[in-house]
Structure 1
Amino acid sequence: MSRITGAVRVAGIVGNPVAHSLSPIIHNAWIEALGLDAAYAAFAPRDADGFATLVEAGRAGLIAGVNVTAPFKEQAFALADAATDTARASGSANILRFRDGEVEADSADGEGLLWALKDQAPGLDLNGAPVVMLGAGGAARAAVAALAVAGARVRIVNRTRERAEALAADIGLGVQSADPDSAFEGAQLVVNALSATPQLDPARFQPGTVVMDMSYRPVETPFLKAAKAAGLTTVDGLAMLIGQAGPSFRVLFDVESPAIDPRPLLLAHLGEAG
C-alpha cells in the first residue's frame, strides 16, 4: 500500500488537454504496488507561459519531474539545461527531470514505440526495413528518430511536403520525405502519427506489412481495424504508451517499474475488451 507523507515525491503528466491521459492510472498503480511515498498527478498549464512557470517550480524543488505531452514537448526540450542523446536526436522531450535546480530533458517516446513493435510484431526486423511515417508533427518526431537509429529506412508522408522535408532534415540518418504515390512500395511498416484517420486502404499494402497507429482512443482505431481485416499484423498506441511508461517511471522515481502489466487496467478504464 502506498503512503503519502511530508517526504512525498511528486511527479506527473503535463499537457493541454490532459484530463484524458492514462499515464496517472499506470504510474499510480505502480506506485501503490511498490508502496512508494509518491504521487503522480496531471498538470494542465493554459499556455507556454504557464508551462514555463511549471518548469520553474521544478527548478525550485517543488516537483521531482514530469512527463510532457502535446503541445509542450518541443518547449520542454528548449527549456532544459541538458538533454540525453535520445532527446537530442528528436529535438523534443516527453520527460523533464528536476534535480538541484537543473532541468534534464529525456524522451521515452521512441523507446515506447520500439517496445510496442517488439511486443505486438515480434517478427519485424527494422534493420534496413522501409518504413512509412504518416505525419510530420510532434507525435512523429521521436518515433522517426527511434526508427532511424534502429536502422530503418524512414519515409515521411505528410500533407504539407515542406514540413516532412524539415523533419527529415532535422533527424538526418537517411530519413526522407516521400510522395504518397510511391512511398508505400516495399514498406514493411506503416505508422500513423496523424490525429485523424488516414485516407488509405491497408488492403493495398503488400502482404506482411505491419500497421501501427499511435492513437489509442479507441485502442483498435478504424485504421487498425481495416488493416486487421486485410490480414495484416497490427500494433496499437496503447502498447506504445505502456512501453514509454516504464523508462519514464525509472527516471521520475529512481526505481524500476514493477512487473505488473497495466494493459488490463487501462482497457477496463477505456471500457474496451482485452
Structure 2
Amino acid sequence: MSRAPNARPYAEVIGDPVARSKSPAIHNFWLERLGIDAEYRAVRVTAQGLEEYFASRRADPLWRGCNVTMPLKQEVFGALDRADPHAAAIGAVNTVYRDANLLAGTNTDTLGFLEPLRPALGARHLYRMARVIGTGGAARAIVHALAESGFTIVLAGRDEAKARAILDELAPAGEHHAAPLSHFADPTDFAFDDRAGCLDLVVNASPLGMTGQPPLAFDWSHAPPRSIAYDIVTDPVETPFLQGARERGLATVTGLAMLVGQAAAAFECFFGRSPPRDADGELMESLRR
C-alpha cells in the first residue's frame, strides 16, 4: 500500500467495492466547511490485503484512521490492538482510529442507524417489531441497536441458521425469530390489525438492491400498516425497495441518513472536531445528485 500522495493528514474508507462510496464526499464536505487541511478518500482493500494495508498505515504518521465497509467489518478485528466494548459486543468494527500508538476499533453504525428514528423511538409504544434482512456486519449492528431499543426482531438471511445464531448471540433475552430470505419474497395473506400504538420497521440491512448486486425480492404484503421502511443501501439512494414502500403509502428512510450519522461519529475519531451538522440539508442534497 502506497503512502499518501501529499503531506496532509488523511483518513479513508476501505472495503471491496468502494469506488462508488459516498463517504469521501461527506467527510471532505465537513473538512472544507471547518477549514481543516486534511483529506478523506476511498481505497479498495480485500480481506487478503488487510495485513498489508494496516502495516503500511501504521507506519504513516499522516494517517488518522479509516472507516470499514463490506466485507471487512468482522475480519478487521485481527488487525487491531483493541476494540471497545461496544464493537466487541456487536462483533463488527466500522471505524479504526489511532489512540496514541495503538489502533483502536469502534462501531458507529448503531448511532447512525438510530439517528433518523429518534423521533419515533421517543414515543411510548404497546409493541415494537422489526423485520430485518441481512446477516453481515451492518446487520449485526442494527440487530444490536434494535434489541437495545425494545424491538422484537425477525431476521432473514440466505442462511437461516446464521440468522438464528446472530439473534442468539446479540439478543438472547428476546423472543426473536429467524427466517430464510425467501420468506419475504412470496406474498402473504396474513391479516394485520391496524397496529395503532405499535412501531413497525422493515429494514434492508443487506447489500441486495445495491448497484452491481442482485435485487432484493420483498413482497410488501409482509409489512404491517404504518410501517417505516428503512434501506441502508446508498447507491442508488432511491432503491426499488423504498419505491415499493412508498407505493404502499409507508414512510421511508434512505441509507444516506445512516451513512451521515455514522460518519459524524467517525469524523470526531479521525479529526478531533465535531462536524458541522447544521449544514446537513446542503450535504444531503449534494449526495443525492
Q: TM-score, normalised on structure 1?
A: 0.85
Structure 1 pair 249/129, CA: closer, same or farther in 2 (3 Å)?
same
Paired amino acid for 2:26: I
Counterpart for residue 110 of structure 1:
110
Q: Secondary structure at the match of 1:256?
A: coil
Q: How does 1:238-257 map to 2 (within 5 A)?
A: 238-257=256-275
Paired amino acid for 1:195: P
Counterpart for residue 56 of structure 1:
55
- Cα deviations by residue, 1:56-110 (Å, 9 ceiling, x for unpaired): 2333343111111112111222322211222112111110012333111101111
Q: Secondary structure at the match of 2:104?
A: strand
Structure 1 vs Structure 2 CA RMSD: 2.8
- Cα deviations by residue, 1:145-183 (Å, 9 ceiling, x for unpaired): 111122222221223211111211231343634344799
Gapped regions of structure 1 (runs ≥ 5): none
Structure 1 pair 265/125, CA: closer, same or farther in 2 (3 Å)?
same
8 Å contact kept, 2:29–2:283: no
Counterpart for residue 20 of structure 2:
20
Paired amino acid for 1:212: Y
Q: How does 1:157-176 map to 2 (within 5 A)?
A: 157-174=156-173, 176=176
Higher mean C-alpha deviation, range 213-222 or range 167-176: 167-176
Structure 1 pair 67/130, CA: closer, same or farther in 2 (3 Å)?
same
Structure 1 pair 111/164, CA: closer, same or farther in 2 (3 Å)?
same
Alpha-carbon offset, residue 9 of structure 1: 2.1
- Cα deviations by residue, 1:124-161 (Å, 9 ceiling, x for unpaired): 76895121111212231111111112222222122321
Paired amino acid for 1:165: R
State yes or no: 1:188 paired with 2:200: yes
Gapped regions of structure 2 (runs ≥ 5): 1-5, 209-214
Alpha-carbon offset, residue 198 of structure 1: 3.3
State yes or no: 1:200 paired with 2:212: no
CA–CA separation in structure 2 for the residues paired with 1:56 and 1:230:
50
CA–CA separation in structure 2 for the residues paired with 1:55 and 1:75:
13
CA–CA separation in structure 1 for the residues paired with 2:130 and 2:270:
32
Paired amino acid for 1:200: F
Q: TM-score, normalised on structure 2?
A: 0.81
